[in-house]
Amino acid sequence: MRRRTLSALAVGASSLALLATLAPAAGATGGHGGQGDHRPAYKRVGYFTQWGIYGRDFQVKDLDTSGTAAKLTHINYAFGNVSPEGKCFTGNVPGEADAWADYARPVGAEDSVDGVADTGEQALAGNFNQLRELKAKHPGLKVMISLGGWSWSTNFSDAALTPASRKALVSSCLDLYLKGDLPVDGARGGAGAAAGLFDGIDIDWEWPGSAGDTDTKYRPEDKKNFTALVREFRTQIDAYGKKQRKHYELSAFVPTAPAKIDAGFEVAKIMRDFDFVNLQGYDFHVSGEARTAQQSALFARNDFSVDQTVREWERRGAPARKLVVGMPFYGQGWTGVQGGGDGLGQPASGPAPATWANGYEDYKALKKLAASGTYKVHRDLRNGHAWLFDGTTLWTYDDPWVLATKSAYVRAKGLGGAMFWSLDGDTPDGELITAVDRGLGGR
Protein backbone atom coordinates (compact mmCIF):
# COMPACT_ATOMS: atom_id res chain seq x y z
CA MET A 1 0.00 0.00 0.00
CA ARG A 2 2.80 2.43 0.83
CA ARG A 3 4.53 1.67 -2.48
CA ARG A 4 1.29 2.35 -4.34
CA THR A 5 0.82 5.66 -2.53
CA LEU A 6 4.32 6.86 -3.39
CA SER A 7 3.77 5.87 -7.01
CA ALA A 8 0.50 7.78 -7.06
CA LEU A 9 2.17 10.90 -5.77
CA ALA A 10 4.92 10.64 -8.37
CA VAL A 11 2.53 10.18 -11.27
CA GLY A 12 0.28 12.88 -9.82
CA ALA A 13 3.19 15.30 -9.76
CA SER A 14 3.84 14.58 -13.44
CA SER A 15 0.18 15.22 -14.26
CA LEU A 16 0.28 18.50 -12.38
CA ALA A 17 3.41 19.56 -14.21
CA LEU A 18 1.77 18.83 -17.55
CA LEU A 19 -1.33 20.81 -16.62
CA ALA A 20 0.79 23.67 -15.35
CA THR A 21 2.43 24.10 -18.75
CA LEU A 22 -1.02 24.90 -20.16
CA ALA A 23 -1.92 27.44 -17.47
CA PRO A 24 -2.39 31.10 -18.51
CA ALA A 25 0.36 33.53 -17.64
CA ALA A 26 0.01 35.87 -14.68
CA GLY A 27 -2.25 38.76 -15.57
CA ALA A 28 -4.52 36.54 -17.69
CA THR A 29 -7.86 35.22 -16.44
CA GLY A 30 -6.27 33.16 -13.72
CA GLY A 31 -3.31 35.39 -12.91
CA HIS A 32 -2.74 37.59 -9.88
CA GLY A 33 -5.23 40.34 -9.31
CA GLY A 34 -4.63 43.77 -7.87
CA GLN A 35 -5.77 43.07 -4.30
CA GLY A 36 -3.55 44.51 -1.62
CA ASP A 37 -2.82 41.11 -0.09
CA HIS A 38 -1.73 39.73 -3.50
CA ARG A 39 -4.35 36.99 -3.30
CA PRO A 40 -4.69 35.31 -6.72
CA ALA A 41 -7.71 36.33 -8.75
CA TYR A 42 -9.18 32.81 -8.76
CA LYS A 43 -12.38 32.61 -6.78
CA ARG A 44 -12.54 30.32 -3.79
CA VAL A 45 -16.21 29.98 -2.88
CA GLY A 46 -17.16 27.98 0.20
CA TYR A 47 -20.65 27.06 1.38
CA PHE A 48 -21.31 27.59 5.09
CA THR A 49 -24.37 25.61 6.16
CA GLN A 50 -26.87 27.24 8.51
CA TRP A 51 -27.49 23.90 10.29
CA GLY A 52 -23.82 22.98 10.74
CA ILE A 53 -23.74 24.85 14.06
CA TYR A 54 -25.86 22.12 15.64
CA GLY A 55 -24.78 18.46 15.39
CA ARG A 56 -21.43 19.15 13.75
CA ASP A 57 -20.78 22.13 16.05
CA PHE A 58 -19.16 23.94 13.13
CA GLN A 59 -19.13 27.64 13.97
CA VAL A 60 -18.22 30.67 11.88
CA LYS A 61 -15.23 31.09 14.20
CA ASP A 62 -13.87 27.76 12.92
CA LEU A 63 -13.36 29.37 9.52
CA ASP A 64 -10.93 31.74 11.18
CA THR A 65 -9.08 29.38 13.53
CA SER A 66 -8.60 26.77 10.77
CA GLY A 67 -7.06 29.35 8.44
CA THR A 68 -9.87 28.77 5.95
CA ALA A 69 -11.23 32.34 5.91
CA ALA A 70 -7.84 33.69 4.79
CA LYS A 71 -7.97 31.36 1.77
CA LEU A 72 -11.54 32.16 0.66
CA THR A 73 -12.81 34.95 -1.57
CA HIS A 74 -16.51 34.18 -1.02
CA ILE A 75 -18.70 32.50 1.57
CA ASN A 76 -22.11 31.30 0.37
CA TYR A 77 -24.52 31.15 3.29
CA ALA A 78 -26.83 28.15 2.80
CA PHE A 79 -29.72 28.73 2.53
CA GLY A 80 -32.39 31.37 2.17
CA ASN A 81 -35.91 30.14 1.38
CA VAL A 82 -38.72 31.31 -0.91
CA SER A 83 -42.27 31.19 0.45
CA PRO A 84 -45.36 29.82 -1.32
CA GLU A 85 -46.26 33.50 -1.86
CA GLY A 86 -43.03 33.94 -3.83
CA LYS A 87 -41.05 36.03 -1.34
CA CYS A 88 -37.74 35.63 0.44
CA PHE A 89 -38.50 35.06 4.10
CA THR A 90 -37.09 33.92 7.41
CA GLY A 91 -38.55 32.95 10.78
CA ASN A 92 -38.57 30.01 13.13
CA VAL A 93 -40.41 27.42 11.06
CA PRO A 94 -39.09 23.85 11.45
CA GLY A 95 -37.79 22.56 8.14
CA GLU A 96 -38.41 25.88 6.37
CA ALA A 97 -36.49 28.67 8.14
CA ASP A 98 -34.23 29.13 11.15
CA ALA A 99 -34.00 32.75 12.26
CA TRP A 100 -32.54 31.52 15.57
CA ALA A 101 -29.44 30.24 13.81
CA ASP A 102 -29.32 33.17 11.40
CA TYR A 103 -29.49 36.17 13.71
CA ALA A 104 -31.22 35.52 17.06
CA ARG A 105 -28.98 32.96 18.79
CA PRO A 106 -26.62 34.55 21.35
CA VAL A 107 -23.06 33.41 20.64
CA GLY A 108 -20.75 33.02 23.63
CA ALA A 109 -17.23 34.39 23.81
CA GLU A 110 -15.72 30.94 23.18
CA ASP A 111 -17.46 30.70 19.78
CA SER A 112 -17.17 34.34 18.78
CA VAL A 113 -14.78 35.51 16.06
CA ASP A 114 -13.80 38.59 18.07
CA GLY A 115 -13.84 36.76 21.42
CA VAL A 116 -16.70 38.86 22.81
CA ALA A 117 -20.02 37.31 23.80
CA ASP A 118 -23.27 38.59 22.30
CA THR A 119 -25.45 40.70 24.56
CA GLY A 120 -29.21 40.59 24.93
CA GLU A 121 -29.62 44.08 23.49
CA GLN A 122 -27.81 43.85 20.14
CA ALA A 123 -30.00 43.73 17.03
CA LEU A 124 -27.85 41.21 15.19
CA ALA A 125 -26.50 37.99 16.72
CA GLY A 126 -26.17 34.38 15.52
CA ASN A 127 -24.38 33.37 12.33
CA PHE A 128 -25.04 36.71 10.65
CA ASN A 129 -23.21 38.71 13.30
CA GLN A 130 -20.33 36.24 13.31
CA LEU A 131 -20.02 36.55 9.54
CA ARG A 132 -19.93 40.32 9.95
CA GLU A 133 -17.11 39.93 12.47
CA LEU A 134 -15.29 37.55 10.13
CA LYS A 135 -15.47 40.09 7.30
CA ALA A 136 -14.08 42.77 9.60
CA LYS A 137 -11.11 40.52 10.38
CA HIS A 138 -10.60 39.53 6.72
CA PRO A 139 -11.15 42.59 4.53
CA GLY A 140 -12.04 41.64 0.97
CA LEU A 141 -13.92 38.50 1.97
CA LYS A 142 -17.42 38.52 0.44
CA VAL A 143 -20.53 36.88 1.85
CA MET A 144 -23.35 35.81 -0.49
CA ILE A 145 -26.80 34.62 0.48
CA SER A 146 -27.58 31.40 -1.39
CA LEU A 147 -31.26 30.97 -2.17
CA GLY A 148 -32.91 27.58 -2.49
CA GLY A 149 -30.79 24.46 -2.49
CA TRP A 150 -32.14 20.95 -3.03
CA SER A 151 -34.78 21.15 -0.30
CA TRP A 152 -35.84 24.80 -0.61
CA SER A 153 -36.26 25.20 -4.39
CA THR A 154 -39.93 24.23 -3.99
CA ASN A 155 -41.50 27.55 -4.95
CA PHE A 156 -39.04 29.02 -7.45
CA SER A 157 -41.07 28.02 -10.51
CA ASP A 158 -44.19 29.81 -9.26
CA ALA A 159 -42.21 32.84 -8.09
CA ALA A 160 -40.57 33.21 -11.52
CA LEU A 161 -43.78 32.75 -13.51
CA THR A 162 -44.73 36.36 -14.34
CA PRO A 163 -43.02 39.77 -14.56
CA ALA A 164 -44.92 40.89 -11.45
CA SER A 165 -44.00 37.77 -9.43
CA ARG A 166 -40.34 38.03 -10.44
CA LYS A 167 -40.22 41.68 -9.44
CA ALA A 168 -41.81 40.91 -6.08
CA LEU A 169 -39.43 38.01 -5.36
CA VAL A 170 -36.29 39.99 -6.14
CA SER A 171 -37.49 43.03 -4.20
CA SER A 172 -38.18 40.88 -1.13
CA CYS A 173 -34.72 39.31 -1.31
CA LEU A 174 -33.05 42.71 -1.55
CA ASP A 175 -35.04 44.00 1.41
CA LEU A 176 -34.29 40.99 3.60
CA TYR A 177 -30.64 40.41 2.77
CA LEU A 178 -28.96 43.35 1.04
CA LYS A 179 -30.83 46.06 2.93
CA GLY A 180 -30.84 43.80 6.00
CA ASP A 181 -34.42 44.43 7.06
CA LEU A 182 -34.91 41.43 9.34
CA PRO A 183 -38.15 40.48 11.08
CA VAL A 184 -38.18 41.59 14.71
CA ASP A 185 -37.46 38.67 17.06
CA GLY A 186 -37.35 40.03 20.60
CA ALA A 187 -34.43 42.45 20.69
CA ARG A 188 -33.10 41.06 17.42
CA GLY A 189 -33.81 42.20 13.91
CA GLY A 190 -35.46 45.34 12.63
CA ALA A 191 -34.84 47.67 9.70
CA GLY A 192 -31.22 47.58 8.57
CA ALA A 193 -30.13 45.11 11.26
CA ALA A 194 -28.06 43.10 8.75
CA ALA A 195 -27.23 45.99 6.39
CA GLY A 196 -23.82 45.61 4.78
CA LEU A 197 -23.44 41.93 5.60
CA PHE A 198 -24.26 40.39 2.24
CA ASP A 199 -22.28 41.30 -0.88
CA GLY A 200 -24.48 39.51 -3.38
CA ILE A 201 -26.99 36.79 -4.14
CA ASP A 202 -26.43 33.20 -5.26
CA ILE A 203 -29.40 31.53 -7.00
CA ASP A 204 -29.48 27.83 -6.15
CA TRP A 205 -32.66 26.74 -7.98
CA GLU A 206 -32.49 22.95 -8.40
CA TRP A 207 -33.72 22.75 -11.16
CA PRO A 208 -35.56 25.05 -13.60
CA GLY A 209 -37.34 22.98 -16.23
CA SER A 210 -36.51 19.56 -14.74
CA ALA A 211 -37.08 17.46 -11.64
CA GLY A 212 -35.37 18.18 -8.35
CA ASP A 213 -36.58 17.29 -4.87
CA THR A 214 -39.92 15.47 -4.68
CA ASP A 215 -41.99 18.59 -3.85
CA THR A 216 -40.14 21.03 -6.13
CA LYS A 217 -42.36 22.40 -8.89
CA TYR A 218 -41.08 22.68 -12.45
CA ARG A 219 -42.58 23.47 -15.85
CA PRO A 220 -41.27 23.85 -19.44
CA GLU A 221 -41.47 27.66 -19.33
CA ASP A 222 -39.00 27.71 -16.42
CA LYS A 223 -36.19 28.05 -18.96
CA LYS A 224 -37.23 31.46 -20.27
CA ASN A 225 -38.52 32.47 -16.83
CA PHE A 226 -35.14 31.70 -15.28
CA THR A 227 -33.49 34.02 -17.80
CA ALA A 228 -36.01 36.73 -16.95
CA LEU A 229 -35.52 36.17 -13.22
CA VAL A 230 -31.75 36.51 -13.53
CA ARG A 231 -32.28 39.75 -15.52
CA GLU A 232 -34.59 41.05 -12.79
CA PHE A 233 -32.02 40.25 -10.09
CA ARG A 234 -29.30 41.98 -12.11
CA THR A 235 -31.46 45.05 -12.73
CA GLN A 236 -32.56 45.51 -9.14
CA ILE A 237 -29.24 44.82 -7.44
CA ASP A 238 -27.41 47.11 -9.86
CA ALA A 239 -29.89 49.90 -9.18
CA TYR A 240 -29.47 49.41 -5.43
CA GLY A 241 -25.71 49.11 -5.80
CA LYS A 242 -25.54 52.40 -7.67
CA LYS A 243 -27.10 54.13 -4.68
CA GLN A 244 -24.68 52.36 -2.33
CA ARG A 245 -21.69 52.90 -4.67
CA LYS A 246 -21.05 49.17 -4.56
CA HIS A 247 -21.13 46.29 -7.03
CA TYR A 248 -23.28 43.47 -5.70
CA GLU A 249 -22.39 40.11 -7.22
CA LEU A 250 -24.82 37.63 -8.75
CA SER A 251 -24.05 33.93 -9.12
CA ALA A 252 -25.80 30.57 -9.39
CA PHE A 253 -25.28 26.88 -8.78
CA VAL A 254 -25.79 25.05 -12.09
CA PRO A 255 -26.02 21.35 -13.10
CA THR A 256 -23.72 18.93 -14.87
CA ALA A 257 -26.26 16.87 -16.88
CA PRO A 258 -26.69 18.17 -20.47
CA ALA A 259 -30.41 17.38 -20.33
CA LYS A 260 -30.84 19.58 -17.26
CA ILE A 261 -28.76 22.37 -18.77
CA ASP A 262 -30.88 22.37 -21.93
CA ALA A 263 -34.17 22.11 -20.05
CA GLY A 264 -33.56 25.09 -17.81
CA PHE A 265 -30.79 27.41 -18.95
CA GLU A 266 -30.39 29.82 -21.88
CA VAL A 267 -26.67 29.80 -21.24
CA ALA A 268 -25.42 32.62 -23.47
CA LYS A 269 -28.14 34.97 -22.20
CA ILE A 270 -27.84 34.32 -18.47
CA MET A 271 -24.04 34.44 -18.47
CA ARG A 272 -24.19 38.10 -19.47
CA ASP A 273 -25.89 38.87 -16.15
CA PHE A 274 -23.97 36.54 -13.84
CA ASP A 275 -20.62 37.48 -12.34
CA PHE A 276 -19.91 33.73 -12.25
CA VAL A 277 -21.62 30.37 -11.89
CA ASN A 278 -20.66 27.45 -9.65
CA LEU A 279 -20.63 24.19 -11.62
CA GLN A 280 -21.91 20.99 -10.06
CA GLY A 281 -18.65 19.05 -9.74
CA TYR A 282 -19.94 16.20 -7.56
CA ASP A 283 -22.85 13.78 -7.11
CA PHE A 284 -22.21 12.45 -10.61
CA HIS A 285 -23.21 9.17 -8.98
CA VAL A 286 -24.83 8.81 -5.56
CA SER A 287 -25.18 6.14 -2.93
CA GLY A 288 -28.82 5.48 -3.83
CA GLU A 289 -27.72 3.88 -7.11
CA ALA A 290 -27.48 0.09 -7.39
CA ARG A 291 -23.78 0.06 -8.34
CA THR A 292 -20.76 1.84 -6.97
CA ALA A 293 -19.28 4.58 -9.15
CA GLN A 294 -17.21 7.74 -9.03
CA GLN A 295 -18.99 10.84 -7.74
CA SER A 296 -16.54 13.58 -8.77
CA ALA A 297 -13.94 12.44 -11.34
CA LEU A 298 -11.99 15.08 -13.21
CA PHE A 299 -12.17 13.03 -16.43
CA ALA A 300 -14.37 10.07 -17.41
CA ARG A 301 -15.16 8.28 -20.66
CA ASN A 302 -18.89 8.09 -21.46
CA ASP A 303 -19.80 9.38 -18.01
CA PHE A 304 -20.28 12.60 -16.10
CA SER A 305 -17.07 14.39 -15.07
CA VAL A 306 -15.73 17.82 -14.18
CA ASP A 307 -14.18 18.22 -17.63
CA GLN A 308 -17.41 17.16 -19.33
CA THR A 309 -19.34 19.72 -17.27
CA VAL A 310 -16.95 22.52 -18.17
CA ARG A 311 -17.11 21.62 -21.86
CA GLU A 312 -20.92 21.45 -21.87
CA TRP A 313 -21.18 24.95 -20.44
CA GLU A 314 -18.49 26.38 -22.71
CA ARG A 315 -20.10 24.77 -25.76
CA ARG A 316 -23.36 26.58 -24.96
CA GLY A 317 -21.72 29.99 -24.67
CA ALA A 318 -20.36 30.31 -21.12
CA PRO A 319 -16.99 32.11 -20.89
CA ALA A 320 -14.31 30.09 -19.10
CA ARG A 321 -13.47 32.94 -16.73
CA LYS A 322 -17.00 32.79 -15.26
CA LEU A 323 -16.99 29.04 -14.60
CA VAL A 324 -16.14 28.04 -11.02
CA VAL A 325 -15.60 24.31 -10.47
CA GLY A 326 -17.48 22.68 -7.59
CA MET A 327 -15.38 20.38 -5.41
CA PRO A 328 -16.77 18.07 -2.67
CA PHE A 329 -15.59 18.08 0.92
CA TYR A 330 -17.49 14.81 1.48
CA GLY A 331 -17.87 11.37 -0.05
CA GLN A 332 -20.63 9.11 -1.38
CA GLY A 333 -20.61 5.55 0.00
CA TRP A 334 -22.09 2.09 -0.59
CA THR A 335 -22.09 -1.05 1.52
CA GLY A 336 -22.74 -4.72 0.70
CA VAL A 337 -20.45 -4.34 -2.32
CA GLN A 338 -20.05 -7.58 -4.28
CA GLY A 339 -17.63 -8.77 -6.93
CA GLY A 340 -14.30 -8.13 -5.26
CA GLY A 341 -11.48 -6.27 -7.00
CA ASP A 342 -11.17 -2.60 -6.14
CA GLY A 343 -14.94 -2.35 -5.59
CA LEU A 344 -15.68 0.23 -8.27
CA GLY A 345 -18.53 -0.48 -10.69
CA GLN A 346 -19.85 -3.35 -8.57
CA PRO A 347 -23.39 -4.04 -7.29
CA ALA A 348 -24.11 -2.94 -3.72
CA SER A 349 -26.92 -3.49 -1.23
CA GLY A 350 -27.38 0.16 -0.28
CA PRO A 351 -25.90 3.37 1.14
CA ALA A 352 -23.07 2.93 3.62
CA PRO A 353 -23.69 3.73 7.31
CA ALA A 354 -22.37 7.19 8.15
CA THR A 355 -22.28 9.83 10.87
CA TRP A 356 -25.08 12.14 9.76
CA ALA A 357 -26.85 10.48 6.82
CA ASN A 358 -26.30 7.04 5.30
CA GLY A 359 -24.27 7.24 2.10
CA TYR A 360 -22.83 10.70 2.90
CA GLU A 361 -19.72 11.28 4.99
CA ASP A 362 -17.50 14.30 5.70
CA TYR A 363 -13.93 14.21 4.43
CA LYS A 364 -12.55 14.54 7.95
CA ALA A 365 -14.22 11.23 8.85
CA LEU A 366 -13.09 9.53 5.63
CA LYS A 367 -9.52 10.61 6.32
CA LYS A 368 -9.67 8.65 9.57
CA LEU A 369 -10.97 5.59 7.70
CA ALA A 370 -8.10 5.89 5.24
CA ALA A 371 -5.61 5.95 8.12
CA SER A 372 -7.25 3.09 10.02
CA GLY A 373 -5.56 0.32 8.03
CA THR A 374 -8.95 -1.31 7.35
CA TYR A 375 -9.55 0.50 4.08
CA LYS A 376 -7.29 0.60 1.07
CA VAL A 377 -6.87 3.88 -0.81
CA HIS A 378 -7.34 3.51 -4.58
CA ARG A 379 -6.58 6.18 -7.16
CA ASP A 380 -7.37 6.56 -10.83
CA LEU A 381 -4.38 8.64 -11.84
CA ARG A 382 -5.47 9.13 -15.43
CA ASN A 383 -8.98 10.35 -14.58
CA GLY A 384 -8.35 12.15 -11.30
CA HIS A 385 -10.43 10.58 -8.55
CA ALA A 386 -9.98 8.42 -5.44
CA TRP A 387 -11.94 5.92 -3.37
CA LEU A 388 -11.68 3.77 -0.25
CA PHE A 389 -12.62 0.09 -0.16
CA ASP A 390 -12.46 -2.50 2.61
CA GLY A 391 -13.93 -5.40 0.63
CA THR A 392 -17.51 -4.56 1.63
CA THR A 393 -17.89 -0.78 1.88
CA LEU A 394 -16.73 1.78 -0.69
CA TRP A 395 -16.42 5.56 -0.39
CA THR A 396 -15.69 7.78 -3.39
CA TYR A 397 -14.30 11.18 -2.40
CA ASP A 398 -11.76 13.94 -3.07
CA ASP A 399 -8.57 14.08 -1.01
CA PRO A 400 -5.76 16.68 -1.20
CA TRP A 401 -4.14 14.86 -4.15
CA VAL A 402 -7.36 14.96 -6.19
CA LEU A 403 -8.03 18.60 -5.30
CA ALA A 404 -4.50 19.62 -6.25
CA THR A 405 -5.00 17.99 -9.64
CA LYS A 406 -8.35 19.75 -10.10
CA SER A 407 -6.81 23.08 -9.11
CA ALA A 408 -4.14 22.62 -11.76
CA TYR A 409 -6.94 21.91 -14.24
CA VAL A 410 -8.66 25.20 -13.28
CA ARG A 411 -5.44 27.04 -14.01
CA ALA A 412 -4.80 25.18 -17.26
CA LYS A 413 -8.29 25.94 -18.58
CA GLY A 414 -8.35 29.58 -17.48
CA LEU A 415 -11.44 28.97 -15.37
CA GLY A 416 -12.83 31.23 -12.67
CA GLY A 417 -11.83 29.25 -9.61
CA ALA A 418 -13.12 26.61 -7.18
CA MET A 419 -16.24 26.15 -5.04
CA PHE A 420 -16.60 23.84 -2.04
CA TRP A 421 -19.59 21.98 -0.59
CA SER A 422 -19.34 22.30 2.26
CA LEU A 423 -16.79 23.91 4.53
CA ASP A 424 -17.78 21.87 7.60
CA GLY A 425 -16.48 18.68 5.95
CA ASP A 426 -12.84 19.78 6.03
CA THR A 427 -10.36 18.93 8.79
CA PRO A 428 -9.91 21.33 11.74
CA ASP A 429 -6.68 22.60 10.15
CA GLY A 430 -8.24 23.14 6.72
CA GLU A 431 -6.38 20.40 4.86
CA LEU A 432 -8.59 20.47 1.75
CA ILE A 433 -8.87 24.25 1.37
CA THR A 434 -5.09 24.46 1.77
CA ALA A 435 -4.55 21.98 -1.07
CA VAL A 436 -6.76 24.04 -3.38
CA ASP A 437 -5.20 27.31 -2.28
CA ARG A 438 -1.73 26.02 -3.08
CA GLY A 439 -2.91 24.51 -6.34
CA LEU A 440 -4.35 27.85 -7.44
CA GLY A 441 -1.14 29.64 -6.61
CA GLY A 442 -1.94 30.89 -3.12
CA ARG A 443 0.47 31.84 -0.41
> Looking at the annotation, which residues are catalytic?
206
Whether the CB-CB separation of 194 and 180 falls below 8 Å is answered with yes
Q: What is the 3-state secondary structure (H, E, C) of the chain?
A: CHHHHHHHHHHHHHHHHHHHHCCCCCCCCCCECCCCCCCECCEEEEEEEHHHHCCCCCCHHHHHHCCCHHHCCEEEEEEEEECCCCCEECCEECCCEEHHHHHHCCCCHHHCCCCCCCCCCCCCCHHHHHHHHHHHHCCCCEEEEEEECCCCCCCHHHHCCCHHHHHHHHHHHHHHHHCCCEEEECCEEECCCCCCCCCEEEEECCCCCCCCCCCCCCCCCHHHHHHHHHHHHHHHHHHHHHHHCCCCEEEEEECCCHHHHHHHCCHHHHCCCCCEEEECCCCCCCCCCCECCCCCCCCCCCCCCHHHHHHHHHHCCCCHHHEEEEEECEEEEEECCCCCCCCCCCECCEECCCCCECCEEEHHHHHHHHHCCCCEEEEECCCCEEEEECCCCEEEECCHHHHHHHHHHHHHHCCCEEEEECHHHCCCCCHHHHHHHHHCCCC
Rounded CA-CA distance 435/131 in Å is 24
Whether the CB-CB separation of 293 and 345 falls below 8 Å is answered with yes
